[in-house]
Amino acid sequence: MSIIKPVNGKSPQIPEDCYVAENATIVGEVIMGSQCSVWFNAVIRGDVHYIKMGNKVNIQDGAVIHATYKTSPTSIGNNVSIGHNAIVHGCTIHDNVLIGMGSIVMDDCVIESNSIIAAGAVVTKNTIVKAGSIYAGVPAKKVKDISKELINGEINRIADNYVKYSGWFK
């Protein structure tokens, strides 16, 4: 059974159309939009600051979403995929973004819309990823502009697929 619990009087807000895996953990001030999914062993800790997610956000297996005490909340837009084992910490992610598997996005970063953070990338504190960019590496740097094919073929496809996959488990 999922661990969903209040912390300091603040409880997660999870719409009924969302899917939360049996061993996922969601605690504290977490506000989720519609059609979201939180997969196996994922952790969303809204204990030290708020975490807000838009619609059609998927937090894949083993991912960790957290914030920094009183200084850096985490805000995630609509149509965002957070890949397996990624860490998203105290940052802002706009709409239509793919955060690749095993990547790390640190405090006070802003990932603008229609962007991809490649698998294994480390986006260091205060980095601004401009809209339509692909960032890769350690530390992450811009490697190219995103194409419309990648927006449709990767960002939208993955977000849509996770809505479909979650239906299999409900």
The C-alpha atoms of residue 109 and residue 69 are separated, in whole angstroms, by: 16
Q: What is the reported pLDDT for 69?
A: 97
Q: What is the reported pLDDT for 111?
A: 98
- What are the CA-CA distances from residue 37 to residues 5, 31, 153 (Å)? 17, 13, 20
Question: Strands 104-105 and 122-123: what pairing?
Answer: parallel
Q: What is the reported pLDDT for 90?
A: 98
- DSSP strands (E only) in 1-149: 3-5, 19-20, 25-31, 37-38, 43-53, 58-59, 64-66, 74-76, 80-82, 87-89, 92-93, 97-99, 104-105, 110-111, 115-117, 122-123, 128-129, 133-136, 141-145
Long-range contacts of 7-12 (CB under 8 A, 24+ apart): 7/46, 7/47, 8/47, 10/46, 10/50, 12/44, 12/46
In single-letter form, the type of residue at position 14 comes to I
What pTM was estimated for this model as a whole?
0.97
Q: What is the reported pLDDT for 170?
A: 86
The C-alpha atoms of residue 83 and residue 106 are separated, in whole angstroms, by: 15
pLDDT < 50 stretches in the chain: none
Cβ neighbours of residue 152 under 8 Å, at least 6 residues apart? Answer: none
Q: What is the reported pLDDT for 1?
A: 83
Q: What is the reported pLDDT for 150?
A: 86
Q: What is the reported pLDDT for 152?
A: 86
In single-letter form, the type of residue at position 121 comes to A
Q: What is the reported pLDDT for 116?
A: 98
**Which domains, and CATH codes, for the chain?**
3-169 (2.160.10.10)
